[in-house]
Structure 1
Amino acid sequence: MTDTKLLSVEGLRLVVAHSGLEVVKGVSFSVAPGEIVGIVGESGSGKTLAAKAIMSLEPPSIRRTAGTIHFEGRDIAQLSPAELRELRGARIGMVFQEPMTSLNPSMLIGRQLDEGLALHRNLSAEERRALVLDMLRRVGIKDPEGALTSYPHQFSGGMRQRIMLASVMLLQPALLVADEPTTALDAVVQRDVLELMVELTRARGTAVLMISHDLSMVARYTDRIIVMCRGEIVEEGATEELLRDPRHPYTRKLLAAMPRRLPTRDIPPATTPIVEVRDLVVDYGGKQGFFRKEPGKRALHGINLAIKPREVVALVGGSGSGKTTLGRAIAGLLKPSGGEIRYAGRSIVPGSEGWNDYRFNCQMVFQDPYSSLDPRMTIGSLVLEALRQVPNMSARDKIARVHEVLGEVGLGETYADRYPHELSGGQRQRVAIARAIVRRPAFVIADEPVSALDVTVRAQVLDVFADLQERHGFSCLFISHDLGVVEQIADRVVVMKDGQIVEEGDRDAIFDRPQHPYTRQLLSAIPVLEATAGGGLHLKWRLDDEARMPDAAFA
């Protein structure tokens, strides 16, 4: 790493054109060649807008009013559109948060990877193809030839992120901007993608600007951290020093919001589980073609699971392990191919005597509240809808219950007349929780309820959820790939792989003494931040003796 600045941002100010609201306020920072810099902060802090301004990719509604951005000594604001096109991709690459929206769904992968090379490199078609195939192999695509003739939707989220990284690194940029590159990926895939990104950038001397709300990952992979709050940089410094001795109150607030293991709860003994599944099987049918039918896939292989009253059971595992399928089958949203679901000791099948009672007492909190809340309905109407079939409850009592539950989730009755688009992500998730608990159910399924939330909002929502669970005593199946969250909220942990349960046990036993190799792999994939005596945090890996440290591969 040299002292020469590859990127220099000085006094950057961005405003919303129609209102004049300043969203980035005098931001200054620099990145040296080969340096990995993390930008952290809550949603709305200006991280992504400041990063997009580097490539002049601000939304049309955002206007720059002051400041300069120099890249390799050139003032970005003085470049012509043609010069900007030459710069983007070739010298500055960007990996976006959701690869499915940045990869063209109607174009073959091969054509999308070839596009940048054809535009920026004077190579023959055969040379470009060879480079593409080599890069796909390097990012871990098992069948590079087959990938060239495939579409983005035919790959998992982790594979799409690898392909996105391949498309950027093919051009060997001097700076890579990674905007939330591992959001919604499971633990093992997160680590694989980030190790791959570090390996590729170090091999080519590429600098990285990593934007993320995952503090543990930023702490592990960056040389320096910049902390932003409400459009301003409030603190920056070497990663280890900033974690060990945070100075600004906002930085301390961010670090204090990291999930932490809570004391073990006392769960009252029960002879009858509130929900139990026996030998549950779910098969997905194959596609029907003109002349043949493709074989189906078995998503769940004879699952046996029992959840006690008041218990929080966390379901963890990689993408495609069957976690969400199991949750949706228990909720009655998927029809099992075999096996049995029991509620309070009674077998439950659609149309049976206890089916309606079970459906009323089994509620679900979905991963993305924005897509599960009707944008045309007010918050009050959305929560009230869950009470529509409650017998012997007057309209006045229903409205009173809605106002009560909005207060319980930390919103208050003043939010009843608002619409989903008027709320932040954390507030919408509170509404989703309110809808699930307004009937006072006995059992709640929470499917990745905080995966897309930033650190402080996630902590607030988890506190609300834990308080409600303690107050109303519902049991919960908590589906998550965030092991830190699981460690904080779960009483018991169930680990799934390839549609089967490979290990289950009390939280402390699973986290401290895992037995199955896959559980150990999951736990060793993600670094943790431990509190120090001085009020800071210290980075460590779980199961240090087994963790494959990334630096060893790049030494």
Structure 2
Amino acid sequence: MVKTELLSVEGLRLTVAHSQMNVVKGISFTVAPGEIVGIVGESGSGKTLAARAVMGLEPPAIRRTGGTIRFEGKDIAQLSPGELRKLRGARVGMVFQEPMTSLNPSMLIGRQLDEGLALHRKLSPEERRTLILDMLRRVGLKDPEGALQSYPHQFSGGMRQRIMLASVMLLQPALLIADEPTTALDALVQRDVLELMVELTRARGTAVLMISHDLAMVARYTDRIIVMQKGEIIEEGVTQDLLREPKDPYTRKLLTAMPHRLPARSITEAAGPIVEVRNLVVDYGGRQGFLRKEPGKRVLHGINLSIRPREVVALVGGSGSGKTTLGRAIAGLLNPTGGEIRFAGRSIVPGSEGWNDYRLDCQMVFQDPYSSLDPRMTIGALIREALRLVPTMRSREKTERVREILNEVGLSDAYVERYPHELSGGQRQRVAIARAVVRRPAFVIADEPVSALDVTVRAQVLDLFADLQERHGFSCLFISHDLGVVEQVADRVVVMQDGRIAEEGTRDAVFDAPQHPYTKRLLSAIPILVRTEQDGVRLRWRDEEASPEHGAETPRPEAYAALGRG
């Protein structure tokens, strides 16, 4: 039986008003009831703009200059503002990339969840509360009653995304638009959130339009894929068939850019580690309430870690495991409660002799370059600032070093006078890396440096980082939740859980023969895209003994298998 079209987009054209530049160029696609369709492509391909246009949420500078969008047979452009308000949320819901920006930080969770129900459904306050509590239980919150009286900042990223999903699914929309719903989540939380989303939408017959640059995720959860490039649809088809045998060179380029394991490097044994952490403890103090002080929380429980010269050590684990806290403590950005940090054999204590030299010799690349780069400073000034406390360099030498590092990271001298907002995400991350290595540090901490980048830009930045690390010989603590990236860059892997080291070893030992149950769970949460003879890929699980093509059944998570998809 042929499904009727829930959403039909025909010849959609979106244009930047002031420049008349077309950013979406006459694309057409459909979504049937209950169908899960993925849209993939690089940043700037127009996939998010096209999805937002379905709800009439184009940015003010964007104008629709052609085409039609029909939802349940109605032309979106012909709807009045009141009809559009009834459509948004009630019939078409949207889960945004970062829930902290879409949840109101000043409103209690209960009030935010109640707002949509009160607007779109004729229910009593008691009925709305019952529905909200039931939905919060379904999305995995252990204390729904307490959640109603909490604020968004009191939850982890994964919990906030679950709450955002609950707020959308409470209204039982016919179409759910998920815009990069799991970019900032670790592997286990990402799997839980996505399988929850699929379970909820399947139970209610909701269609899903999933926008993502994570091809493994799209391969796992979608029925069809649409590939976009520079505002155009260049290829579409059934997910399994398109990935197995892509027709367009651009699709093959996207698949080639996926992280892959490189041969293990040989690192010469040195006299001692460049960085050593001994029994490191970090406590976060409790908040002072009106009548009492809440107890503090121990975040790191006696961490021991060493990093050799020229070695790349990857730190992995779930959200809240203490990865970033450990990185910031080593960088001197927060004071440990106990333990010792040693650099080149010397104990490092804030304010002691050698502390300033250590802070200059230990640099950090942050996750979001846009928030870590001063928007009022030019790119040249931002990079030059890292050389401000180098007394042996003259002004001309600093200028030459800035131009040299810009060329090393693939940016020309023309970027010296530009500002961060004039650069793409990938270019800003190159600037952040340039600022970290311009002083030729001995040790670099990279905290989720590529999590927000699309597939091809991520591959370029990873290649750049590896080239700079090989050229300048700095050691690196690479913090990431993306195990595919870790598999490509790491010499050694340290797995953290609840503020403790669960397992550590060489990359090949940890990925090929994990010993700790938590490590096994992490690795089992992510699928692998295996190359095919047709320059495509197929989906395989890490614990799969033989490929499905040779008679083995592909292992699937229990919740996902229950949905009858695979």
Look up the equivalent residue of 1:489 and give its one-letter code: V
**Where does residue 16 of structure 2 map in the other structure?**
16
Contact 1:524/1:544 (CA < 8 Å) preserved in 2? no
Q: Cα deviations across residues 39-91 of structure 1 (Å, max 9, x unaligned)?
A: 00111111111011111111111111110111111111111111111111111
Contact 1:312/1:476 (CA < 8 Å) preserved in 2? yes
**Where does residue 138 of structure 1 map in the other structure?**
138
Pairwise CA distance, 1:554: 2.3
Q: Cα deviations across residues 182-212 of structure 1 (Å, max 9, x unaligned)?
A: 1101110000000000000000111000001
Pairwise CA distance, 1:147: 1.1
Q: Cα deviations across residues 485-539 of structure 1 (Å, max 9, x unaligned)?
A: 0000000000001110010000001001000011011111111211123211111
Contact 1:2/1:32 (CA < 8 Å) preserved in 2? no
Q: Cα deviations across residues 428-454 of structure 1 (Å, max 9, x unaligned)?
A: 100110011111111000000000001
d(CA) in 1 for partners of 2:185 and 2:525? Answer: 12
Contact 2:245/2:536 (CA < 8 Å) preserved in 1? yes
Pairing of 1:174-323 with structure 2 (within 5 A): 174-323=174-323
Contact 1:274/1:345 (CA < 8 Å) preserved in 2? yes
The DSSP-based 3-state class of the residue aligned with 2:562 is helix
The range that moved more, 540-549 or 376-385, is: 540-549
Pairwise CA distance, 1:323: 0.4
d(CA) in 1 for partners of 2:143 and 2:67? Answer: 47
The range that moved more, 469-478 or 387-396, is: 387-396
d(CA) in 2 for partners of 1:509 and 1:64? Answer: 53
**Where does residue 561 of structure 2 map in the other structure?**
552
Pairwise CA distance, 1:108: 1.5
Pairwise CA distance, 1:3: 2.3
**Where does residue 492 of structure 1 map in the other structure?**
492
**Where does residue 352 of structure 2 map in the other structure?**
352
Contact 1:379/1:417 (CA < 8 Å) preserved in 2? yes
Look up the equivalent residue of 2:391 and give its one-letter code: P
d(CA) in 1 for partners of 2:362 and 2:496? Answer: 22
d(CA) in 1 for partners of 2:285 and 2:127? Answer: 41
d(CA) in 1 for partners of 2:563 and 2:245? Answer: 29
Look up the equivalent residue of 1:538 and give its one-letter code: R
Q: Cα deviations across residues 225-275 of structure 1 (Å, max 9, x unaligned)?
A: 000011000100100111111111111111110000000001011130000
The DSSP-based 3-state class of the residue aligned with 2:397 is helix
Contact 1:225/1:237 (CA < 8 Å) preserved in 2? yes
Look up the equivalent residue of 1:552 and give its one-letter code: A
Pairwise CA distance, 1:8: 0.4
Distance 1:547 1:307, change over 3 A: farther
Pairing of 1:58-457 with structure 2 (within 5 A): 58-457=58-457
d(CA) in 2 for partners of 1:83 and 1:388? Answer: 58
RMSD of the alignment, in Å?
A: 1.2
d(CA) in 2 for partners of 1:388 and 1:108? Answer: 45
d(CA) in 2 for partners of 1:40 and 1:400? Answer: 40
d(CA) in 2 for partners of 1:413 and 1:254? Answer: 29
Look up the equivalent residue of 1:420 and give its one-letter code: P
**Where does residue 541 of structure 1 map in the other structure?**
541
Look up the equivalent residue of 2:81 and give its one-letter code: P
**Where does residue 470 of structure 2 map in the other structure?**
470
Pairwise CA distance, 1:289: 2.8
Look up the equivalent residue of 2:305 and give its one-letter code: L
Contact 2:246/2:534 (CA < 8 Å) preserved in 1? no
The DSSP-based 3-state class of the residue aligned with 2:383 is helix
Pairwise CA distance, 1:391: 2.5
d(CA) in 2 for partners of 1:145 and 1:209? Answer: 31
Pairwise CA distance, 1:548: 2.0
d(CA) in 2 for partners of 1:2 and 1:339? Answer: 66
Pairwise CA distance, 1:484: 0.4
% same residue: 81
Pairwise CA distance, 1:2: 4.1
d(CA) in 2 for partners of 1:476 and 1:549? Answer: 37
d(CA) in 1 for partners of 2:402 and 2:285? Answer: 41
The range that moved more, 3-12 or 533-542, is: 533-542
d(CA) in 1 for partners of 2:148 and 2:336? Answer: 36
Q: Cα deviations across residues 98-149 of structure 1 (Å, max 9, x unaligned)?
A: 1111111122211211122212212211111111111111111111111111
Pairwise CA distance, 1:553: 2.5
Contact 1:525/1:547 (CA < 8 Å) preserved in 2? no
**Where does residue 461 of structure 2 map in the other structure?**
461
d(CA) in 2 for partners of 1:23 and 1:484? Answer: 31
**Where does residue 481 of structure 1 map in the other structure?**
481
Pairwise CA distance, 1:354: 2.1
Look up the equivalent residue of 2:166 and give its one-letter code: A
The DSSP-based 3-state class of the residue aligned with 2:496 is strand
d(CA) in 1 for partners of 2:60 and 2:348? Answer: 54
Contact 1:45/1:232 (CA < 8 Å) preserved in 2? yes
Unaligned runs of 5+ in 1: none
d(CA) in 1 for partners of 2:357 and 2:85? Answer: 60
d(CA) in 2 for partners of 1:105 and 1:394? Answer: 47
Pairwise CA distance, 1:549: 4.5
Pairwise CA distance, 1:154: 1.2
Pairwise CA distance, 1:413: 1.7
Distance 1:533 1:550, change over 3 A: farther
Pairwise CA distance, 1:291: 3.1
d(CA) in 2 for partners of 1:392 and 1:55? Answer: 58
d(CA) in 1 for partners of 2:307 and 2:533? Answer: 38
Pairwise CA distance, 1:19: 1.2
1:520 is the counterpart of 2:520: yes
